[in-house]
């Protein structure tokens, strides 16, 4: 009776190890690149929108029906006159 204790992998074992090493190295490199981009990116680029101006607030109140046309015209005239001074 012959016992086989052959530890030679053959070509498929070497090919699998080579492909696995490339995939593992690419995954490590990808992780490092993502970590660097995340650490370095400018968070101020995601700035909140500027606050609305007085005329925009007034127009929104008029559009919602909170003030009537006469009140809107009066307040708009006040805003324009104060902006000129």
Domain boundaries, the chain: 54-84
Tell me which of 84 and 22 has the higher pLDDT.
22
Runs of H (alpha helix) within the chain: 11-40, 54-64, 69-84
pTM: predicted TM-score of the whole model, two decimal places: 0.44
Window from 3-12, 28-37, 47-56 with minimum mean pLDDT:
3-12
Give the count of beta carbons closer than 10 Å to the beta carbon of residue 5. Answer: 4
- The reported pLDDT for the residue numbered 71 is 94
Give the separation between CA 79 and CA 58, rounded to whole angstroms.
Answer: 10
In the chain, pLDDT over 90 holds for what percent of residues?
Answer: 55
- The reported pLDDT for the residue numbered 44 is 66
> Mean pLDDT over residues 14-39, rounded?
94
């Amino acid at each position: 009776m012959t016992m086989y204790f052959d530890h030679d992998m053959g070509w498929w074992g070497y090919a699998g190890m080579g492909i696995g090493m490339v995939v593992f190295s690419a995954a490590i490199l990808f992780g490092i690149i993502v970590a660097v981009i995340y650490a370095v990116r400018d968070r101020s680029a995601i700035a909140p929108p500027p606050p609305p101006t007085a005329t925009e607030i007034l127009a929104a109140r008029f559009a919602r029906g909170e003030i009537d046309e006469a009140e809107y015209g009066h307040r708009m005239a006040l805003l324009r006159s104060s902006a000129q001074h």
